[in-house]
Amino acid sequence: MIKQILTESFNKNVNNATRIKGNRILKNDLIKEIDINIDDDCININSIVVSESLFSEYGCSIEFDNNTKEVIDTYCGCLDYEKNEFKKDNYCCKHIAATFYEFLNRIDDDAGLRSKLTNAITDNTISNNGRSSEIYGDNLLSSLFEDKDKEELKFEVILNKNNWSSKIQAEFKIGLKNKSNKMYIMRDINNFILSMYN
């Protein structure tokens, strides 16, 4: 699950051409070394990647926020990164992509790293659930995360056909089955599903 969350976050910053080039670097075994540090606030991935021409080495780094699992910083010493780093937030070149894919391979291979990542997720979930309800209020998501009293949920799906474009639109509503008739519209289903599994 952690790999899927991190991959979805990383893929927001990468296009298909960069992914293909990053995989080519990974397959050619051009990642000289990689260092992964996990702490309470962030996941730092630092690497040294050899250029495809075998003449240069580039220092790369990726930083993920450990709470949101979003990419918060990237860096590479290559010319492509230096040209484009200010055009897009958290720009990712092929060397950064290769570093990330090597990191995913390490998650599969290293049980210690995998347990650190999953412990970081559970620690963040526990610490977020332990906060007072004054800060977060009595919202629906906080009741979903509590393990003490689980309530049954009510889902409602409304399908509408748009007369202008002949497309079908779906509206999803969720609410507590026993409490009231109050229903909430789900605007981001992917985010909701990720929240359910964390």
Tens-place pLDDT, residues 161-192:
877 777 888 888 888 777 667 777 777 777 77
pLDDT attached to residue 77:
93
Question: In one letter, which amino acid is 13?
Answer: N
138 lies in some domain: no
- The answer as to whether 139 is a domain residue is no
35 contact partners, CB below 8 Å, separation of at least 6: 44, 45, 46, 47
Residue 102 falls inside a structural domain: yes
Q: Quick one: 113 and 157 in the same domain?
A: no
| Pair (41, 116) in one structural domain | yes
Q: Could you tell me if residue 91 is inside a domain?
A: yes
Instruction: Note the pLDDT of residue 134.
Output: 39
Number of separate domains in the chain: 2
pLDDT, one tens digit per residue, over 65-123 is 888 888 899 999 999 999 988 888 889 999 999 999 999 898 888 878 877 777 665 55
User: Do 101 and 175 have their domain in common?
Assistant: no
The residue that leads in pLDDT, 56 or 153, is: 56
SS3 assignment for the chain: CHHHHHHHHHHCCCCHHHHHHHHHHHHCCCEEEEEEEECCCEEEEEEEEECCCCCCEEEEEEEEECCCCCEEEEEECCHHHHHHCCCCCCCCCHHHHHHHHHHHHHHHHCHHHHHHHHHHHHHHHHHHHCCCHHHHCCCHHHHHHCCCCCCCEEEEEEEEECCCCCCEEEEEEEEECCCCCCCEECCCHHHHHHHHHC
Instruction: Look up tokens 């996990």; give the residue.
Output: 38
Q: In terms of pLDDT, which residue wins out, 193 or 171?
A: 171
Range of the domain at 160: 151-196
Instruction: Verify that 160 and 75 share a domain, yes or no.
Output: no
